[in-house]
Amino acid sequence: MLADRNFRLQFFIPPDKSFLLAYWPNDQKSLPERLGVSLTLSAVLECRYQIRTAPGKGVGMFAMEDIAPGAIVARERPILVAPLMLSWDSIERDISSNMPEHVREAFFALHNCKPPSFARVHGIINTNAINIDDMPGQTDFGPYVAVLKDICRANHSCNPNAIYRWDFATFTGALHARRAIAAGEEVSISYIGAHMPYAERHERLRDKYFFVCKCPVCNLPPAARAEDDRARQELTFVRGLLEAGFYDEFAPDVPKQLAMAKMLEDASDCNVSTWRAVAGKLVRAYCTLGERAEAVKWARRAMEMTLVDTGTDGGWAAVVAAPENTDVWRSKVVDK
Ligand SMILES: C[S@@+](CC[C@H](N)C(=O)[O-])C[C@H]1O[C@@H](n2cnc3c(N)ncnc32)[C@H](O)[C@@H]1O
């Protein structure tokens, strides 16, 4: 473990009076310099939710308006960013001495699912913090995590309607809708892999977060739960084929692709490579058949899910606008 002195504590009070306590390697550069980020943006850049009681789960996040797939539900600046290798004692000390009281109160009001044998700060960070992947220019200091005051209130669902993404350009975390979310609906994310069967999910959530999941999928009656387990297993199988490069051999035809797409829809799966494979085949098939409306429909679906997963349209917007310009459509016209 690296000594805490290798990190320099930095804190920022942007003009909007938000507050960020961040640890960074103890070199000359400040955090904004290193990232090229001004940190002057508003702390809560998108707020289409409210935090209120979620029966049986403590509090949770609820949509205040209808939210379209891919749209941002919440965008927020973290109140704490730290490498996990730092000692809990030193984080606790810094929170006590450097965080303004109202931010400290918000931090300590966050849920702590760990037993009392865990240091309080350890418990809160382990319950709430989200990983910040690929810290620019840093490979030596292990994973960093961020604590976000509101986004950390989003509860888990085994069929979540939102996905979390970190953005270095604004130094914010955001929740994006994986599918349409209705006003008043609870906004949920997945704390664990989505494709495990019920028993495995139950065990992971119990061991890591100390709760029994009360999401709609886990409340299904036994027969429906068994069917859900089967669908997840099939999805896992397809993912395996994709990763192994065997997907083409196993699933070349349109009915199979439509069945696959339905499976992805049912699971609100927004994994970009899965959608590229499945929707790509449907779009190609419908372009070949000259069925423009269907080609556009599936290109749009792939675009929405690619936006959710990556924040870019992945080139699908051009296909939605003009499937006639795709190579496969052109070669069809030439064939005639
Ligand atoms: C990161 S916190 C989420 C916000 C939390 N509900 C609160 O009141 O602050 C994680 C904790 O929320 C509760 N929780 C989250 N998802 C749940 C679910 N699907 N079923 C039951 N409890 C859940 C558990 O107590 C879990 O340890």
Instruction: Tell me: do 177 and 231 sit in the same domain.
Output: no
Strand order through the sheet with 7-12:
7-12, 20-25, 80-83, 144-147, 130-132
Instruction: Tell me: do 158 and 95 sit in the same domain.
Output: yes
Instruction: Tell me: do 189 and 227 sit in the same domain.
Output: no
Instruction: Tell me: do 151 and 252 sit in the same domain.
Output: no
Q: What is the pLDDT confidence band of residue 67, given thresholds at 50, 70 and 90?
A: very high
Residue at 172 is within a domain: yes
Domain count, the chain: 2
What's the CA gap between 268 and 274, in Å, rounded?
A: 12
What's the CA gap between 203 and 212, in Å, rounded?
A: 9
pLDDT, tens only, 306-329:
888 888 899 999 999 999 998 878
Lining residues, ligand 1, CB within 6 Å: 56-60, 111, 113, 127-128, 152-153, 155-157, 209-211, 213-215
What's the CA gap between 242 and 239, in Å, rounded?
A: 5
Closest Cα to residue 106, out of 32, 14, 44, 38?
A: 44
Instruction: Tell me: do 12 and 157 sit in the same domain.
Output: yes
What's the confidence (pLDDT) of residue 82?
Answer: 85
Distance in Å, CA 9 to ligand 1 centroid: 30
Instruction: Tell me: do 178 and 249 sit in the same domain.
Output: no
pLDDT, tens only, 85-123:
788 888 898 888 888 888 899 999 999 999 999 999 999
Domain of 160 in residue numbering reads as 4-196
Contact present, 161 and 194 (Cβ < 8 Å)? no
Instruction: Tell me: do 139 and 248 sit in the same domain.
Output: no
- Number of the ligand 1 atom closest to the C-alpha atom of 152: 1
Which tokens in the block code for residue 324?
């006639």
Q: Which of 29-33, 77-81, 136-140 has the lowest mean pLDDT?
A: 136-140
Residue at 205 is within a domain: no
| For ligand 1, mutation pick of 145, 209, 217, 219 (most atoms within 8 Å of CB) | 209
What's the confidence (pLDDT) of residue 138?
Answer: 63
Number of H helices, E strands in the chain: 12, 13
Residue 153 has pLDDT above 90, yes or no: yes
Residue at 213 is within a domain: no
Instruction: Tell me: do 277 and 175 sit in the same domain.
Output: no
Instruction: Tell me: do 192 and 309 sit in the same domain.
Output: no
What's the CA gap between 269 and 309, in Å, rounded?
A: 9
The partner residues of 8 in beta bridges, in order of sequence, read 24
Contact present, 267 and 232 (Cβ < 8 Å)? yes
What is this model's ipTM?
0.99
Residue nearest to atom 1 of ligand 1 (CA): 128
Instruction: Tell me: do 246 and 191 sit in the same domain.
Output: no
- Domain with residue 48: its CATH number is 2.170.270.10
Residue at 256 is within a domain: yes
pLDDT, tens only, 217-274:
999 999 999 988 988 887 787 777 666 665 554 445 777 788 888 888 877 777 888 8
Closest Cα to residue 271, out of 182, 178, 174, 180?
A: 178
Instruction: Tell me: do 188 and 229 sit in the same domain.
Output: no
What's the CA gap between 31 and 176, in Å, rounded?
A: 26
Residue at 216 is within a domain: no
What's the confidence (pLDDT) of residue 187?
Answer: 98
| For ligand 1, mutation pick of 111, 149, 187 (most atoms within 8 Å of CB) | 111
